[in-house]
Structure 1
Amino acid sequence: MITVLTGAVVILTVLVVLDLSLTVLLIKALREGKLNSTPGGNDHDHPDHPEGGFEPTAPTIRPGSPVPPLGLTTADGRPLSQILAEGRWLVAFVSPGCEGCEQERPVLTEWADSHAARGERVAVVVTESSQRIDAFVADYPFAVVAADGVGDGEAISAFGVATFPSYVRIADGAVTSTALELPGHEVVLIDD
């Protein structure tokens, strides 16, 4: 009986030491930036990525695709998929702490103002929990705002978003184009 207990203690000790070693290596890799811990799978500050070689990519959903069915609701409780099914929309995907998102916000505000007369509206999908959405509603008063949860949320995955900010244009429930930037008042379109 003692040999079985001794063997079990030895095995548990080895497993604990292995677990601690892996945890230390993981923490070290995260601190050195060798692993990415940001929502969406990529660094938010893509132009200044310290490791270099980062390729920002537009959302992978193809033009002509219907708006994916989403369980998300806007900050005021409306189903996002239902809202995007009618009219013309620019959907902006943003993330808290994203420098590029903060830099683009004034340009997005101007874009929304200049395109409102043309009937184009803005929806902002934030990688944040719905409990913390009020701050983003205040930041984007011109837009319909929806929280997509922290990390790879439902809309982030459905639209294929990997870089923040990213933009998708929609007309009558179908994707018309995807983009990475809003220079001036025009969206730089990336069509496949």
Structure 2
Amino acid sequence: MQSSEQEEITLPAGARVGDFRVVTGDNRVVTRDDLRQGMLVAFFSPRCPACEEQKPAFIRYASGLSGGRDNVIAVLLGSPEEWGGLREELSGVAQIVIEADVDGEMSTAFGLRGYPAFCLIGQDGVLAVTGFRVDVLPESVAL
């Protein structure tokens, strides 16, 4: 079994997300100040088999969150040619942010080191739960 340090794919739980400013596919500006307790932020890459594996669980989990897609952000890394139907599949349950790679503003702010990554926001932009599998997220947050 790996230690929790090896499993950290983003900043660890308890860390404060860095500053960022991005625009969603709905033309909505999102900054760190917009992160609210209970929000879910996920990072996916179309080149990632584990992302494809976790996608159904993410969609189920995100669709059960109170507040709907306003409380979910899916960051897609890569180029439009690579996404295929990923953007459409996730846009039903999440606001979509596009970044070319892990040097993007949200990826940098969350300390992204791989994907998929799932981050549940706690109070004041602090990460409550992070991991590379949806099953690390608490069931009590979902309906």
Aligned CA distance change for structure 1 residues 161 and 88 (closer, same or farther; 3 Å): same
Aligned with 1:102 (options 47, 52, 68): 52
Matched, 1:115 2:65: yes
Amino acid at match of 2:88: A
Pair 1:62–1:107, CA change in 2 (3 A): closer
Aligned to 1:41: none
Residue range with higher mean Cα deviation, 122-131 or 152-161 = 122-131
Task: Name the TM-score, length of structure 2 as normaliser.
Answer: 0.73
Aligned residues: 131
Letter in 1 for 2:96: V
Query: What is the alpha-carbon distance in structure 1 between the residues aligned to residue 26 and residue 70 of structure 2?
Result: 20
List runs of 5+ in structure 2 lacking aligned partners: 1-5, 139-143
Q: If you compute each CA radius of gyration, which structure gives the higher value, 1 or 2?
A: 1
Distance 1:64 1:164, change over 3 A: closer
Scaled by the length of structure 1, the TM-score of the pair is 0.56
Q: How has the CA–CA distance of structure 1 residues 64 and 77 changed in structure 2, closer, same or farther, with 3 Å as cutoff?
A: same
Residues 94/118 of structure 1: CA separation in 2 closer, same or farther (3 Å cut):
closer
Say whether 1:142 aligns with 2:93. yes
2:125 is aligned with 1:161: no
Contact residue 102 and residue 113 of structure 2 kept, 8 A: no
Tell me the CA shift for residue 123 of structure 1.
0.9
Select 1:178's aligned residue among 111, 130, 141: 130
Tell me, which stretches of 5 or more residues in structure 1 are unaligned?
1-54
The 5-angstrom pairing of residues 1-192 of structure 1 reads 56-65=7-16, 67-81=17-31, 84-116=34-66, 121-129=71-79, 135-140=85-90, 141-171=92-122, 173-174=124-125, 175-183=127-135, 187=137
Contact 1:84 1:170 in 2 (8 A): no
Could you tell me how far apart the structure 2 residues matched to 1:134 and 1:78 are?
A: 23
Deviations 1:68-90 (A, max 9, x none): 32131101111121673345211
Percentage of identical aligned residues: 21
CA distance in 1, matches of 2:34, 2:82: 23
Comparing both structures, which one devotes a greater share of its residues to strand? 2
Pair 1:87–1:62, CA change in 2 (3 A)? closer
Give the whole-Å Cα distance in 2 for the aligned partners of 1:118 and 1:157: 25
RMSD: 3.1
- One-letter amino acid of the counterpart of residue 164, structure 1: Y
How many Å separate the matches in 1 of 2:71 and 2:11?
22
Per-residue displacement from partner, 1:131-159 (whole Å, max 9, x unpaired)? 98794430201111101223432221221
Distance change in 2, residues 1:97/1:132 (3 Å):
closer
